[in-house]
Amino acid sequence: MSEQIALDYAEHTAWLLESALKDAERYRRLAAGLIEPGDERAADIGCGGGGMAVALAARVHEVVAFDSDAAVLDAARAYAAQCGADVAFALGDIESGPEAFIEALGGPVDLMWAGHVVHHAADQQAALDTLAAAVVPGGRLAVAEGGIGARVLPWDVGVGRPGLQARLEAAGSERMIAENRERGAVPMPYGWPAALKRAGLAEVRTLNEFIDRPAPLENGALTEALENLEARVGWFEDFLDEDDKTAWKTLLDPGSPAWLGRRGDLHHLEVRSIYLGRKPKRK
C-alpha cells in the first residue's frame, strides 16, 4: 500500500478533463438552476477539470475556479480556454480560514459551488463555515456530496464471487476511512443539511439528480460505465482482496471472453445529491 492514502489529483488531470467534457451538459443544467437574477460573481471550489466554472461563466459576469493543486488549476485553465470561457483562477485551501479564503477568491460571491471537495477536509464543518463566510448576504452555497453511487453490474456476473460491485464500493469506503485517519479528520455525525445550518445558512434543502439508464448500455453510456469502473478499481485496489482484483482484471479486459463490454445487462442507476443553503440578508 502506498504511503499516502489520499488521491493525488495532479496525477489524474486527463481524467478530470474528460469528466468536464463528458458532464458539460449536466453542468450547464445545474448552472441554469442555481444562478439567480442579479448574480454577479460565482466560484467553483475544488474545480477539477473546470466543468462547472465554464458553465457558470456563461451566466454570470465573473467566475473564479479555485483549487489547492496548481496542476489541477492548469487543467481547468486549459479546458476554459478550449471552451472560450472567461474564468479567473485561484490557488488556495478551504481549510486556511475565512480571511485567507476570501482574499484568495478576491472577495465574496453570490453563488459558491463546492463539488465533492468538502469531504476531503479534516474538519468538514470548519470548511463549510469558511465557504459560507465567503458568500454575500442573500447568496447561496451549493455542496455536492453524498447520494447513492452508480450501480452498473448485476449482483452475480459469473466471474469471481457475487456482490463484486458492492465490495468495490466497500473498498472505496475503506479508503475514505484510511484517508480520514491519515489526516486526523473530525467526525461530523449530524449530516450535510444540519452542517449547512450550523454554518449560518437558511432555507436549506436537498436537490437530487436521478440517473436511470436501463440495460443494455450502449455506445457512450457503455464506455462511460466501463471507464468509471476501471478508474475506481485503480483507486481502491489496495483495499480489494486478491480474488476480486483478479475478477476485475478479467472483466475489464477487452480481450477476455468475460469482458463487461459484451454483456447486455449492464445498467446505470445513481442518485447525486446537492445540499443548498442561502445566507440570510442583513437586517
Does the structure show a pLDDT above 70 at 100? yes
Higher-confidence position of 84 and 13:
84
User: What is the sign of the dihedral through the CA atoms of 29, 35, 41 and 42?
Assistant: negative
Does the structure show a pLDDT above 80 at 197? yes
> What pLDDT shows up at residue 2?
44
Does the structure show a pLDDT above 60 at 119? yes
pLDDT digits (tens, 9 = 90+) for 199-255: 999 999 999 999 999 999 999 999 999 999 999 999 999 999 999 999 999 999 999
Q: Is residue 142 within 8 Å of 110, Cβ to Cβ? A: no
Phi and psi at residue 74, to the nearest 5°: -60, -40
- Of all residues in the chain, what percent carry a pLDDT higher than 70? 97
Cα–Cα distance, 209 to 2 (Å, whole number): 35
Q: How many other C-beta atoms are found inside a 10 Å radius of the C-beta of residue 242?
A: 7
- Rounded to the nearest 10 degrees, the angle between the axes of helix 124-133 and helix 98-105 is 50
pTM, rounded to two decimals: 0.93
pLDDT digits (tens, 9 = 90+) for 57-76: 999 999 999 999 999 999 99
> What pLDDT shows up at residue 77?
97
Output the CA angle 224-228-233, nearest 5 degrees.
150
pLDDT digits (tens, 9 = 90+) for 267-282: 999 999 999 999 999 8
Q: How confident is the model at residue 6 (pLDDT cuts 50, 70, 90)?
A: low
User: Alpha-carbon Rg of the chain, whole angstroms?
Assistant: 20
Does the structure show a pLDDT above 90 at 8? no
Inter-CA distances, 15 with 18, 29, 45, 109, 228, Å: 5, 21, 18, 28, 10
Contacts of 65 (CB under 8 A, 6+ apart): 43, 44, 47, 50, 53, 73, 76, 77, 80, 87, 88, 89, 90
> Exposed, middle or buried by CB within 10 Å (0-12, 13-18, 19+), for 54?
buried
